[in-house]
Amino acid sequence: MSVETRHRLSGKRIILGITGGIAAYKASELIRLYKKAGADVQVVMTPTAEKFVTPLTLGTLSERPVHAEIFPENELGSWTKHIEFGLWGDVYVIAPATAQTMAKLASGMCDSMLTAVALAARCPILVCPSMDHDMWEHPATQESVQTLEGFGYQIMEPEEGELASGLIGKGRLPEPQNIFERTEKILADAANKKKGRLAGTKVLVTAGPTREAIDPVRFISNYSTGTMGYEIAAAAERRGADVILVSGPTSLDTPDGVHRVDVTTAAEMYDAVHKETNAEIIIMVAAVADYAPANPATSKIKKDGKEPDLNLKPTQDILASLGAEKKDGQMLVGFALETDNAEENARIKLEKKNLDWIILNNLNEQGAGFGTETNRVTMIGRDGTEEQLPLMEKREVAEYILDRVLGDAS
């Protein structure tokens, strides 16, 4: 496998749907190919598919729980799991797809996790049919194919060869390597084809912490990992935006298609942001230090038995400066992390800094704040709107924030 191939799929999120056909055994090899390329794979299946390949096998290979029922038992947020997966995936591959499942997809039926995710998915969907030759040629099946293509689904036609019935004809599931290569092409095309609600719109996002030097080896910072900001940048790019991501120090990879500008200090972030103030939408997620050492030492401070004297000075308020200079039609969104009087302090910040929206994180909320894969936020709008979101993955939170911001901007 080439370096280019590994790079294309590395970090991609692939939903793999498996239906109840004999070719379901090939899904194990397909998962192996995706995982070897660095992709994250979430398996969903129909209950009938479990007769051909076990969830234990697929879960072990994918390293994620496998779901068949729409409402998984004993799981937080189970009633919206299909929505979560629909937002999570970069591509949804259904292989094998039986005639039964294709008919359900074509009619919009929603009786399994697999069909529910298809209705909720925002990503490209690849359907790989597998069935006996006469079933494939039947007018009802061909009508399902035409309907799905009309929905925008991509159909990877079955291959010819010996079938499970012993007949020879068209109906074999394409080999896993061929499905893998088609998946790669779909993701490459998606990356190269800039379209969506934000096509032609410049979006500026800040993320991560800043570091303010005490001496050459020590600094003041915070616990921000940058995850929330990176998810918002990636979500905006998926909607066609030209995204500038001004990032403090973080270990995260740059989202595909996003232009990243690395900074370290609050002053550097201030300068970088003010070079991009022509952006139509600005979303300030970064946890910028409020104070910095007034006189950082030029050499390492030695421990000499004396108490250190650390004088601090305020950093430039980037968000307030953007609010003061906000242009007509520009959307300015800020984040607030609070521990006390959270909503009151967030509303003060909203008004004082001339924001259109403020996204409130309460550090006392379980699953929210720094260093988590989830977040629980409250969105407060300048018009008095207030909406408390449930605990969700940060990727899902990012999509919801953009939905609301765009709805208000339209």
Residues recognised as catalytic: 222
Judge contact between 89 and 43, C-beta under 8 A.
no
Q: Rounded to an integer, what distance in angstroms lies between the CA atom of residue 157 and that of residue 170?
A: 9
Judge contact between 289 and 221, C-beta under 8 A.
yes
Q: How many CB atoms lie within 10 A of CB 296?
A: 16
Please choose, from the candidates 331, 246, 338, the residue with its C-alpha nearest in 3D space to the C-alpha of residue 286.
Answer: 246
Sign for the pseudo-dihedral over CA of 227, 231, 232, 236: positive
Residue 203, helix vs strand vs coil = strand
> What is the 3-class SS of 240-303, one letter each residue?
CCEEEEEECCCCCCCCCCCEEEECCCHHHHHHHHHCCCCCCEEEECCECCCEEECCCCCCCCCC
Q: Rounded to an integer, what distance in angstroms lies between the CA atom of residue 172 and that of residue 269?
A: 56
Residue 187, helix vs strand vs coil = helix
HSE at residue 109, side-chain half, CA atoms within 13 A, is 12
Please choose, from the candidates 265, 272, 286, the residue with its C-alpha nearest in 3D space to the C-alpha of residue 220.
Answer: 265
Could you report how far apart the first and last alpha carbons of the chain are, in Å? 45
Q: Rounded to an integer, what distance in angstroms lies between the CA atom of residue 379 and that of residue 360?
A: 6
Judge contact between 95 and 159, C-beta under 8 A.
no
Instruction: Specify the residue for token string 């051909």.
Output: 52
HSE at residue 244, side-chain half, CA atoms within 13 A, is 20
Instruction: Specify the residue for token string 């068209």.
Output: 170
Give 318: exposed, middle or buried? Use CB within 10 Å, 0-12, 13-18, 19+: buried
